[in-house]
Chains A and B, each alone.
Chain A
Amino acid sequence: MSIVEKHKEEAVYVYQAPIRIWHWVQAFAIFALCITGYLIGSPLPSVGGEAYDYYIMGYIRWIHFVSAYLVIVGFVFRVYWAFVGNVHAKQIFLPPFWQIHWWAEVWHEIKWYAMIVKEPKKYTGHNPLAVITMHIMYVWGTLFMIVTGLALYGEGTGPGTWQHSWFSTWVIPLFGQSQDVHTWHHLGMWVIICFVITHIYVAVREDIMSRQSIISSMISGWRMFKDDRPADDQH
């Protein structure tokens, strides 16, 4: 058995409090959105009686819309925080696509997951593969869901409302018709779900196997390291 070498537990404050709150609000809102969204497309078994006895679809849709607004407000706030927050807050919005050595690090990370290299690099912020995944699947995925979601919501609020004027009027014809937007909104949910599965699995795995803390950092904000060699990102 090997023993973890003794090393200095130097910690860096990475995730500021607003980011952490945002992360967990998003997590719960997305969870609620997926469950209720699925149930809107494929409702629960019918109940009997009179219409005034129940409001099941009504509540399901209400939870969906409230959670959706949490995600929207959270997303707007998150973009704002990318400007005013620390350097790590900008990462998922702007992957350095133009840097060749960054791509080399992406490749190294892929090899680490393919178990070709024995040791991952050490990062204070996100590793480059995480940045790409979060940028494409989370940032663009969420934006897609917000835009299509507001377009569908605007159909209910009707002409003259901001949701309808700003979103429904152009999104619905862009996809063909309302039914197509529904289909794409469903597909978008599954992209987000695939992201969530990957995100949680990788966070757990990295927490155990990489050279830095992952899960606890999103709770405390502090990144801990398992060795005291220098980090590979410039932060």
Chain B
Amino acid sequence: MHETFYDVMRRQGITRRSFLKYCSLAAGALGLSPAFAPQIAEAMETKPRIPVLWLHGLECTCCSESFIRSAHPLAKDVILSMISLDYDDTIMAAAGDQAEAIIEETIKKYDGNFILAVEGNAPLDEDGMYCIIAGKPFVEQLRHVAEHAKAIISWGSCASWGCVQAARPNPTRATPTHKVPNMPDKPIIKVPGCPPISEVMTAVITYMLTFEKMPSLDNQGRPKMFYSQRIHDKCYRRPHFDAGQFVEEFDDEGAKKGYCLYKVGCKGPTTYNACSTVRWNGGLSFPIQAGHPCIGCSEDGFWDKGGFYDRLTDVKGFGIEANADEIGTTAAAIVGGAAAIHAGVSVVKRIAQKGDDA
């Protein structure tokens, strides 16, 4: 058995006092009351670390980059202590055959008791040849490991929705975890975002370790505690939206005053994520705070929803691209014009008819 979180921490010379502080912080990060801190502490003291296999499909490693910047809890604590990150080809020391052997070893030792974390997704076209891991298509590795996992975490928008490699026209047929055919029936947690917020990632793992169950998920499979509200709902610039104060251009007075970025394409009103509350880099900032509109990176198909700087989405399939209002105005103009012409013809006809009758 792996040693417990507490054992590892003590071995590293961390005092019990610091350990308990960490537990309180973790409770706070999870949105739990302080009363849960002892429960977290107990879990850390008694439960063996969860083995995690972290697989990488088609991805850019931004999820890993985000993850290692977690401040509450610190990523090093998570990786070195809370979980037993047995395999993660980006940050593991082993390489080649030795690295791949770890997967089989973990499956053998902890069959049905480890967590599979998926970063990126599997391209299905050409039998998965667009992503080869250790000489085999990634999709095969994914199915094989999933077969033996307890639960699957889909890290990021790639694994959750498809993201950039699945953007239209999706040349390699990149497919998110839950849509891969013949996947074993395992619970999947989606943690979307490009990348997801580091604290959200570590909090999901902390929750699963502490309570030995999945966090409560919404009907699209995202943890409710981080994805039940939109950026817009908790945005600190929301009062400017309600007032009608907008940035019209990036170098105008409104931009300097920190007005709402809605008119320069902010997707905050349609994006479910915790950026406006948890923020990034240890709570330092988030895109809107830096003066840039939200691009909606945690939403399904956000690459295909028109320009990042347009509020209204272009609708494809009309030969030309136009947003709903442009299409609508054209339709209304046609209908209105047709009515006007029809009225004119009706009048002419009526006059002619009366002429005939007379």
Which A positions have Cβ atoms within 8 angstroms of B? 1-2, 38, 41-49, 51-58, 60, 113, 115, 118, 155-156, 158-159, 169-170, 173, 176-180, 182-184, 186-187, 189-190, 193-194, 197-198, 201, 205, 209
Contacts and interface: CB of A to CB of B under 8 A. Distances in A.
B266 to A, nearest CB: 11
A187 B61 CA distance: 38
A43 B312 CA distance: 12
Interface of B: 218-220, 224, 228-230, 233, 239-248, 253-254, 259, 262-263, 267, 269-272, 296, 299-302, 305, 311-313, 315, 323-325, 327-329, 331-332, 335-336, 339, 342-343, 345-346, 349-350, 353-354, 357-358
Nearest to A118: B353
A190 B331 contact: yes
Contact of B335 (A53, A177, A194): A194
18 contacts: A1-B354, A47-B245, A48-B254, A51-B242, A51-B243, A57-B241, A60-B244, A115-B345, A158-B233, A177-B270, A178-B299, A179-B267, A183-B313, A186-B323, A186-B325, A187-B315, A194-B331, A205-B343
Given A57-B243, A118-B353, 19 more contacts: A1-B354, A2-B354, A41-B311, A44-B244, A46-B245, A52-B243, A55-B243, A56-B244, A115-B345, A159-B224, A169-B218, A169-B219, A173-B219, A178-B299, A179-B305, A187-B328, A197-B332, A197-B335, A201-B339
Contacts of B243: 47, 51-58
A113 B219 contact: no
B313 A180 contact: yes
A187 B324 CA distance: 5
Contacts of B339: 197-198, 201
Contacts of A187: 315, 324, 327-328
Contact of A186 (B224, B246, B259, B324): B324
A48 to B, nearest CB: 7
Q: Which of A44, A57, A176 has the most CB of B within 10 A?
A: A57
Contacts of B327: 187, 190
6 pairs of A and B residues whose beta carbons are closest in the complex: A190-B328, A56-B244, A186-B324, A178-B270, A51-B239, A201-B339
Contacts of A2: 354, 357-358
Contacts of B357: 1-2
The B interface is mostly helix, strand or loop, or mixed, namely helix
A193 B332 CA distance: 7
Given A1-B358, A51-B242, A183-B313, A38 B346 contact: no
Contacts of A177: 270, 296, 299-302, 305
Given A158-B229, A197-B332, A179 B350 contact: no
Contact of B244 (A42, A46, A173): A46
B299 A179 contact: yes
A134 to B, nearest CB: 15
B224 to A, nearest CB: 7
Contact of A193 (B230, B242, B328): B328
B325 A38 contact: yes
A54 B245 contact: yes
Nearest to A178: B270
A173 B219 CA distance: 9
Contacts of A60: 244
A176 B349 CA distance: 50
B244 A43 contact: yes
B244 A159 contact: no
Contacts of A113: 342
B346 A178 contact: no
Nearest to A204: B343
A113 B349 CA distance: 12
A209 B346 contact: yes
Given A54-B243, A189-B328, A42 B311 contact: yes
Q: Which of B242, B299, B301, B311 has the most CB of A within 10 A?
A: B242
A115 B354 contact: no
Contact of B325 (A41, A58, A158, A169): A41
A180 B312 CA distance: 10
Q: Which of B246, B247, B253 has the most CB of A within 10 A?
A: B246
A209 B228 CA distance: 56
A186 B328 contact: yes
Contacts of A44: 244
A156 B230 CA distance: 8
A50 to B, nearest CB: 8
Nearest to A49: B245
B346 A205 contact: yes
A48 B323 CA distance: 28
B108 to A, nearest CB: 38
Contacts of B302: 177, 179
A101 B126 CA distance: 56
